Amino acid sequence: MDSTFVLYDFNKDQATNAWRVVDDVVMGGKSSGHFEMNDEGHGRFYGSVSLENNGGFSSIMKRIDPISVEDYEVVKIRLKGDGSTYQFRIKDDPNQRHSYIRSFETSGEWETNNLPLEEFAPSFRGRRLAMPNFDQKEIAELRFLIGNKKPQQFNLLIDEIRLTK
């Protein structure tokens, strides 16, 4: 078995409609996220987070055909952030209400974040659930989220998401 599997390569799939923005406006908030492909072939997730009307988050998500993760241990994401903390979220079933979440810091430079699958914690609406960390057999949804309990502008460039041993 190959030791790496590309979940999403923004340089190869230029379809901006592949990722959907989901902001706190679904709950009455006023945050505003956007997604586009930039001229260099990277996904660009940007906008502003507002705490108005009990808001506080913006995200982009993509449902994928379920991918077996039994032979992999780490999600590697090549990206360039703005110095903010973001979350990468996964689901094994897009219809489940909770997500498995792993936060990561960005430095303002291009970097690869290594996120071990066993460190993804179950959460629903910002609350940790009394369940085991990610121990599922597959991934069926990917999501990036920013929600640092403060109003802020954000800008995240994403190059590639892959699974490795």
Task: Please give the tally of structural domains in the chain.
Answer: 1
Per-residue pLDDT tens digits for 20-46: 999 999 889 999 999 999 999 999 999
pLDDT at position 18 is 84
pLDDT at position 143 is 98
pLDDT at position 12 is 82
CATH of the domain at 109: 2.60.120.430
Q: What rounded mean pLDDT belongs to the chain?
A: 94
Per-residue pLDDT tens digits for 56-108: 999 999 999 999 999 999 999 999 999 999 999 999 999 999 999 999 999 99
Please spell the DSSP secondary structure of 5-37, one letter per residue. EEEEETTT---GGGSEEEEGGGGT---EEEEEE
Domain span at 85: 4-164
Instruction: Using the predicted structure, report yes or no on whether residue 1 has a pLDDT greater than 60.
Output: no
Mean pLDDT, range 149-159, rounded to an integer: 97
